Structure formats: C-alpha cells, structure tokens
Amino acid sequence: MNNSFFRYLLWLLFFVLLQSLVFSQLPLGTYVYPMVYVLFILMLPIGYSRMAVLLWAFLTGLCIDIFTHSILGAHTSATVAMAYARPFILKLVTSKEDRENNVQLITKRNLGSRFFLTYISLAILLHHTIYFLIDTFSFFDFIHTVLLIVCSALLSILFVFFLSSLMPTSWNSASN
C-alpha cells in the first residue's frame, strides 16, 4: 500500500503539472480544452480498490481546480463521477481474467488498442460532459456547450491515447 501510494502520488504530481503547465496553456481557441489528467485515474489498475480510486479522483480534481484557475469543484465533481463510472465501463471492455489480473496499470498495450480506445472515449466523454455543464452552468446556449464538449473530448481522447503509449505497463517500473 505504502509503496504504491507514493508512486501514485508522484504520478498525480506529474499529471497536475502536465495539465496546468502544458495542456491548459495550449493556444487552441475557445472550443478545445484538452484535459489529459484523467489518464491518471483511467490507468489505475483494474483491481485497485474502488474506494481508493474515488479518493484519488477527488484529490486529482481538487489539484487541477486549484492549479488551472477554474471553479473550485468543477474538475473535482467531473473526475469523481468518472472514477465512479470506471468499473462499469471497464466491465464492457474487459474479460473476467483481465479483471483478476490486477496489478497492472491499464494501458493501450495490455487492454488492446480497440478496447482501450472505447474505454477512454466513454470515460472522457462522461467527464467532459459533466465538466462543461458545470463550467458553462446553463442550458441556455446548448449547442455551444455541446460543441465545447465534443471538440474538447475528441482532442483529449487523442492526447490520452498517445500519452498512454508512453506509459509503463506495471507500476513496478512506474517510478524512475
């Protein structure tokens, strides 16, 4: 527990810095805001305690909220909701053996590109929908919000997909 805890803490730090110093600063216009930090939650091992995943999600969201000048709680609630939905999405894309093999970080390699893409797409779409609904906080100009969600989600999925191929497979080799 302790060992993995500190490793994950390092990962958390890495993703928060990556998001706030790189991806939030990209000059991409108003409609695309990629949020790649969700990969941290998405790549936690399948068998990892669901309670722990929720707590990590809370911590991640909070850090991102603080470091990207956004509404306190917007990233948090979106990330936590995604973390809660994670096992259900995983059930769709993994076999029973996969779920028992639980020490590995979830990556493109050990899930298979197609399943992995489905997995992150569903999760990111959910996350972005919640985030942008909170961020715009109105149903007034709904097409605008939908555009925000779709464009940003597409880019996030792309980034997360490629980022994931750079990730180590198991957390034993996770810290360098």
104: three-class secondary structure by DSSP: strand
Smallest distance, another protein to C-beta of residue 125, A:
18
Q: Work out whether 66 is an interface residue with another protein (CB under 8 A).
A: yes
Q: Which of residues 83 and 160 has its CB atom nearest to another protein in the complex? A: 83
Residue 103 φ/ψ, nearest 5 degrees: -90, -10
CA-wise closest residue to 82 among 15, 129, 140: 129
What mask of x and - would describe binding to another protein in positions 76 to 115, judged by CB under 8 A? xx--xx-xx-------------------------------
The CA-based dihedral angle spanning residues 10, 112, 110, 81, taken in that order and rounded to the nearest 10 degrees: 40
Q: In the set 144, 154, 161, 167, which binds another protein (CB under 8 A)? A: 144
CA distance 36 to 121: 12
Count, residues near another protein per rule CB under 8 A: 38
Smallest distance, another protein to C-beta of residue 169, A:
26
CA distance 91 to 156: 22
Q: Where are the beta strands (DSSP E) in 69-159?
A: none
Q: Work out whether 25 is an interface residue with another protein (CB under 8 A).
A: yes
Q: In the set 136, 150, 161, 167, which binds another protein (CB under 8 A)? A: 136
Give the CA radius of gyration of the chain.
15
Residue 19 φ/ψ, nearest 5 degrees: -70, -50
Q: Work out whether 143 is an interface residue with another protein (CB under 8 A).
A: no
Kindly indicate which of the ranges 35-43, 52-60, 106-114, 120-128 contains the residues binding another protein, using the contact rule CB under 8 A: 52-60
Helix%, strand%, coil% for the chain, nearest 5: 70, 0, 30
Q: Work out whether 24 is an interface residue with another protein (CB under 8 A).
A: yes
Binding site for another protein (CB under 8 A): 20-21, 24-30, 32-33, 50-51, 54-55, 57-58, 61, 66-67, 69-74, 76-77, 80-81, 83-84, 134-136, 141, 144, 148
